[in-house]
């Protein structure tokens, strides 16, 4: 995986610079997400490993599968990646692009995991508290995880708050074991 990350970085940086210069972060984000989801398909992974499939054929498969999600520049990216046999790196490229975009927009993606669905008011209060704490814009994604039993977990990059019942029980078990 780290090998794919290393391969992906220069492509993601090039796409990021193109998107930044043209002010088109959102279309590129959507195109990369679509391409990454195509690259993750089991059938596509097998196709990428097939030596009898030409790079031009691979590019056309990705372009056809993506449909209207790709503009001319995104199609060119697919062709370049196919030419150098880098289409498997698309998920890593999309991930790296997201990181670069978030840094440029001073935004961090945070995940709120709760045992029961959080209300809109609770999510907004948590988002505002994270904005104050992190000093950045926060894009909060809410996920229901019944295994938490109760409470919540918040993750924003390396920043983690675990006030879930499961987390508290695990910490208590660790203390008792010592």
One domain for residues 134 and 83: no
Number of domains in the chain: 2
Report the pLDDT value the prediction gives residue 66, as an integer from 0 to 100.
96
> Of 102, 130, 160, which residue sits at a domain end?
102
One domain for residues 84 and 117: no
How much is the pTM? Answer: 0.71
Report the pLDDT value the prediction gives residue 2, as an integer from 0 to 100.
55
Report the pLDDT value the prediction gives residue 1, as an integer from 0 to 100.
47
One domain for residues 130 and 84: no
The CA dihedral of 92, 96, 99, 105, to the nearest 10 degrees, is -130
Locus of tokens 């596509």: 44
Report the pLDDT value the prediction gives residue 169, as an integer from 0 to 100.
87
One domain for residues 127 and 74: no
Instruction: pLDDT tens for the chain, 178 residues: list them.
Output: 458 888 999 999 999 999 999 989 999 999 999 999 999 999 999 999 999 999 999 999 999 999 999 999 999 999 999 999 999 999 999 999 999 998 898 888 899 999 999 999 999 999 999 999 988 899 999 999 999 988 899 998 788 999 898 888 888 889 898 7
DSSP H helical ranges for the chain: 2-22, 25-39, 42-49, 55-66, 72-83, 90-104, 120-134, 165-177
Report the pLDDT value the prediction gives residue 48, as an integer from 0 to 100.
94
CA neighbor of 55 nearest in space, from 78, 75, 71, 89:
78
């Amino acid at each position: 995986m780290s090998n794919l990350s290393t391969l992906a970085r220069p492509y993601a940086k090039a796409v990021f610079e193109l998107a930044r210069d043209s002010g088109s972060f959102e279309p590129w984000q959507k195109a990369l997400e679509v391409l990454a989801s195509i690259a993750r398909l089991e059938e596509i992974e097998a196709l990428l490993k097939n030596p009898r499939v030409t790079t031009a054929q691979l590019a056309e498969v990705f372009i056809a599968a993506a449909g209207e999600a790709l503009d001319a520049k995104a199609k060119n990216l697919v062709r370049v990646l196919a030419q150098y046999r880098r289409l498997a790196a698309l998920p890593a490229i999309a991930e790296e692009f997201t990181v670069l975009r978030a840094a440029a927009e001073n935004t961090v993606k945070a995940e709120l995991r709760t045992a029961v669905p959080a209300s809109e008011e609770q999510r907004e209060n948590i988002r505002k508290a994270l904005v104050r704490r992190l000093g950045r814009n926060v894009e909060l994604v809410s996920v229901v995880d019944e295994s938490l039993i109760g409470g919540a977990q918040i993750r924003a990059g390396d920043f983690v708050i675990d006030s879930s019942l499961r987390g508290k029980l695990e910490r208590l078990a660790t203390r008792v074991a010592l």
